[in-house]
Amino acid sequence: MQVEGKKVLVVGFARSGLSAANFLLRRGAQVTITDLKTAEELEDSIAQLAKPAQFSWGTHHREDFLQSDFIILSPGVPSDLPELLEASDQSIPIYSEVELAYRFLEGRLIGVTGSNGKTTTTTLIGKLFETAGLDFVVAGNIGSPLIQSLEIPTGSASTSTTYVVELSSFQLENIEQFRCDIALMLNISPDHQDRYPEFNDYLRAKEQIFLNQLPEHYAVLNADDPDTLKMAAERRATAVLYSRKRALEQGVFLHDQRIQIAWKGERHDLMPVDEVRLRGGHNLENVLAATAAGFLSGIDPEAMMETFSTFEGVEHRLELVRDLGGVTFYNDSKATNVESTVQALKAFSEPLIVIMGGLDKGADFSALAPLMKEKVKRLIVLGAASDRIEGVLGHSVSTLRAENMRQAVGLAYDHALSGDVVVLSPGCTSFDMFEDFEHRGQVFKEAVRALNKKRTREQERK
């Protein structure tokens, strides 16, 4: 892809936008950056630019879009901006950051998408490659933009590198040549309804992960999810199924509480389920998906067994924070949609106190009502979605309000008894009160660690 001397507009100046701008500037492109935030709000990112660029802060200017040779769109920016639509009408190419990266990437690519479990599965696959001693990079929606990884550590991509990339629907919207050697679709449930009012629009964005795959590539699909199972027959790539609920003629599945692989007429017995370190049925599905990716990549079974028996999870995803006076605290800040919270509650048999809330994406919180009745002693809500969550779930569980995270943690501990679990599983995005889900999780952990063992009078009476 020729970028030297090209006029390129980068829309959105968060992590992806900054990395894309630096990549282009170092290769001689004439870069303009536009963002609705002010220069003061973005001064930290501006300071990290490799070379000078043109800027348009606080608003978007039509001429910036129409005078570009091509446009790089950050994932947080909606594709239906009027300026983008007009640029598209004039045949100006609009690419996502991962599409730009793909044009320069020389290694193999494993892409992971789905509504839930992406980060855990992506990290697990990376751990498989690490244990096996293979050359790999973990990047994408997990935190480090793919384009940035092409310049680490040597400044150029390597044909021996496997890029394990977490992909959101936003990143997949504007791809053209981007192609995965192995593409994983973990599950599909309604999400980002503020951006995708129709479920089929969300589904189509996710399915872009299979775009450009050929028969020699692999599409790994969850056989237990009706929407992903339907995709198997529609793929040009070789479909590889995995299932937690039934044995498969070909694929990865559980049989007699053991992980097994059936492939080309041969059966491979990997390991007992009870040796898997991760907690919860949803995480077992993530392990099966990672097993498929590892097996298709030729990773030794011993390396897979070692990884699955030692991997404790990723930060902010059912992360154990501490045990205090018999009350155990878990950080599940990565649960930014209702289905993630459903899976978190299912992972526990202990009595639960749950902290929820944040910025509402139009989710259907009523799906949580049966679990609230069955498993949850107290629900503590905070943030912009508090009214709506309490309105939907307040009839199913005793609900309390908190003004901030520290107060929410304090209320949870005040109402907890030894043997209870307190879990932050918001079911919402974080942008009403925090920079992102990582910031939210860190604030939760700081509040938990600040607690002391002194019991309140209310607890002493209990």
Report if residue 242 sits inside a domain.
Answer: yes
Query: How much is the pLDDT for 300?
Result: 95
- Specify the CATH number for the domain of residue 82: 3.40.50.720
Band of the pLDDT at 52, cuts 50, 70, 90?
very high
Cβ contact 288:280 at 8 Å: no
pLDDT bucket at 256, cuts 50 / 70 / 90:
very high
Residue 135 is classified by DSSP as -
- Is 40 in the same domain as 138? no
Task: State the CATH number of the domain containing residue 281.
Answer: 3.40.1190.10
Q: Is residue 1 part of a domain?
A: no
Are residues 87 and 222 located together in one domain of the fold?
no
Question: Per the domain annotation, does 2 fall within a domain?
Answer: no
Q: Within this chain, do residues 183 and 286 fall inside the same structural domain, yes or no?
A: yes
Count the neighbouring beta carbons within 10 Å of the beta carbon of residue 306.
Answer: 16
Residues whose CB is less than 8 angstroms from the CB of residue 153 and which lie 6 or more positions away in sequence, other chains included: none
Indicate whether 87 and 105 sit together in one domain: no
Which pLDDT score is estimated for 259? Answer: 97
Sign of CA dihedral 358, 113, 364, 196: positive
**End of a domain among 92, 115, 133?**
92
Same structural domain for residues 378 and 437? yes
Would you say 220 and 213 are in contact if contact means Cβ atoms under 8 Å apart? Answer: no
Judge if 69 and 121 occupy the same domain.
no
- What pLDDT is stored for residue 462 in this prediction? 44
Q: Which of 92, 115, 148 finishes a domain?
A: 92
Lowest-confidence pick of 122-131, 157-166, 451-460: 451-460
| Per-residue pLDDT, 79 | 87
Q: How far is CA 258 from CA 220, 279, 288, 450, in A?
A: 20, 16, 11, 41
Angstrom distance (rounded) from CA 162 to CA 28: 27
| Same domain membership, residue 338 and residue 429 | yes
Total number of domains in the chain: 3
> Mean pLDDT of all residues in the chain?
92
**Domain assignment present for 234:** yes
212, 298: one domain: yes
Task: Let me know whether 349 and 289 are in one domain.
Answer: no
| Residue 332 sits in the same domain as residue 301 | no
Both 253 and 325 in one domain: the answer is no
Same domain, 287 and 398: no
Burial environment of residue 450 by CB neighbours within 10 A (0 to 12, 13 to 18, 19 or more): exposed
Confidence band for 454, pLDDT divided at 50, 70 and 90: low
On whether residue 298 sits in a domain, the answer given is yes
- Quick check: 274 and 239 in contact, CB under 8 A? no
Residue 385 forms part of a structural domain? yes
| Burial class, 92, CB count within 10 angstroms (exposed 0-12 / middle 13-18 / buried 19+) | middle
> Does residue 432 belong to any structural domain of this protein?
yes
pLDDT tops 50 at residue 457:
no
Q: What tens digit of pLDDT does each residue of 333-359 get? A: 989 989 889 989 998 989 999 999 999
pLDDT confidence of residue 198: 83
Last residue of a domain, one of 38, 58, 92: 92
The boundaries of the domain holding residue 214 are 99-310
